[in-house]
Structure 1
């Protein structure tokens, strides 16, 4: 029983990181109808930038977090303005290929600037152990769970009660009609890309703090994608919550079935889900697949 609880606890922690990245995928898709397959690479780049800023300022935790937020917003806006906005009106497949190419470019830039060596991100108290119900968890694991819950709550409030959130929902439903009603589609999409970038950046940063900072962080996008499909490509909150489910499921499979199956457990799960609910557990039935 204790072993199972340990698997569940650690699964919730890694699942929270998956959830943040999955929300990033869903946020972009909800506003633009486009999957950004450079999401993992973007999270990796933001983690490196924030680590460099923090190191230059004396390993300050606030500098690390502030650098991640600032760099993610700037990168998200720049990508939307100078790359993705040029793809408006182009075939969806072409736009998706642009994001794939963008991911390759980001990886190359990271390797050229920072190299491929593993780095340690030192954050005060992050490695401290907290004992809860007889189980040990690191502060960084608790922090990422809290951040995911906060992100889910803020997203709910944003989409349900804010005027801009309602405008984003309108654009997601029908961009042409929303534009005719006076909603700035380009502004909505810019905010969506910036928000998506922030979520991806937080996921990459928490992964770097909890494990290591290396170019392998880009695989976080691939490992988080099952949570997006499970929750629904257009369901931001559902995708975030599904990240925890995928994380726990992976840990249980790795702990009780076979460690090698842990890496593919999430993808096996979505194969089953897609056969039963092709639109995801929380997605809309009429969404268009890429």
Structure 2
């Protein structure tokens, strides 16, 4: 029983971090129709800035600078994508792959084989809940994600920006006629995705992981199945998909001995297996809406 509860807590904690990343994928897709494959390298940029700045600026100051840097990177990318906006959704998506290669190459060169600490205030502290031992970072990630997701949902539901994004994703032409400035909406969406990625990077590099590595950005790819299986473009789907991915990954890792016949790396591929099964059964995702066919 205690093992199952431990897996549940770890799964919810990881799912909350994946939710921050998956919301970034969803925001960008909802705003511009593109899939941002550079999201992982933007996440790595945020983590790198925290790692190199936490000593001179303190953790909080480094996190603020990292969030601003990731937001700026996302904004610059959005400005570049404007030039190919009329070429359909495939062109900007392919362009993000090129941006990812350039940014990831430079960050990998700077980080090298080093494992960088991020100076987070939780360190290696653990919390004992009866027979269960939980890293303080896991609890902090869950609380932080709930707060940030709550703020985002409130902004998405009750601000003019959220209304403009929802209107533009349904009917861009009608939204433009009503005065919605798509460029500004897109910039805010890309910047918000960058900020969420920077925060997620902190928890991906914190204990119990050893620190920030040049491969940390690849973990963001585990959040992509969460966005897809929830329904790419669906905010609620991104949250639901992230929790499913987090729980699946934690269960695969927790029951690795019982599932050893399926291979030692089951936890790493489990999110993609779930995504494939869901997409086969429901191509639009769990909460995604079917697109109407115009004839």
The TM tier, using the shorter chain, reads: over 0.9
Q: 2:52, 2:131 → 1: CA distance?
A: 37
For 1:263, which of 268, 278, 289 is the aligned residue?
268
Does structure 2 retain, via aligned residues, the 8 Å contact 1:31–1:188? Answer: yes
The 5-angstrom pairing of residues 95-244 of structure 1 reads 95-210=92-207, 211=209, 212-244=211-243
Q: 1:285, 1:150 → 2: CA distance?
A: 31
The 5-angstrom pairing of residues 50-129 of structure 1 reads 50-57=50-57, 60-81=58-79, 83-129=80-126
SS at match of 1:136: strand
Question: RMSD of the TM alignment (CA)?
Answer: 1.7
1:273 aligns with 2:240: no
Give how far 1:186 is off: 0.3
- Aligned pairs, number: 285
SS at match of 1:119: coil
Does structure 2 retain, via aligned residues, the 8 Å contact 1:19–1:148? Answer: yes
| TM-score computed with the length of structure 2 as normaliser | 0.91
Deviations, residues 222-247 of structure 1 (Å, cap 9, x unaligned): 11111101211011232123212211
Give how far 1:287 is off: 8.0
Does structure 2 retain, via aligned residues, the 8 Å contact 1:23–1:240? Answer: yes
Q: 2:130, 2:155 → 1: CA distance?
A: 34
Give how far 1:33 is off: 0.9
Q: 2:200, 2:187 → 1: CA distance?
A: 20
Unaligned runs of 5+ in 1: none
Give how far 1:171 is off: 1.1
Structure 1 pair 229–116 and aligned structure 2 pair: CA distance change class (3 A): same
Does structure 2 retain, via aligned residues, the 8 Å contact 1:126–1:138? Answer: no
Q: 2:197, 2:292 → 1: CA distance?
A: 23
Instruction: Give the structure, 1 or 2, with the largest relative contact order (CA under 8 Å, sep 6 or more).
Output: 1
Structure 1 pair 46–113 and aligned structure 2 pair: CA distance change class (3 A): same
Q: 1:190, 1:207 → 2: CA distance?
A: 26
| TM-score computed with the length of structure 1 as normaliser | 0.92
Give how far 1:133 is off: 4.2
**Corresponding residue number in structure 2 for 1:245:** 244
Does structure 1 retain, via aligned residues, the 8 Å contact 2:34–2:90? Answer: no
Unaligned runs of 5+ in 2: none
Q: 1:143, 1:255 → 2: CA distance?
A: 21
Deviations, residues 180-238 of structure 1 (Å, cap 9, x unaligned): 11110000000010011111121112111232201101211211111101211011232
Give how far 1:277 is off: 1.5
1:22 aligns with 2:22: yes
Give how far 1:275 is off: 1.8
Q: 2:216, 2:83 → 1: CA distance?
A: 28
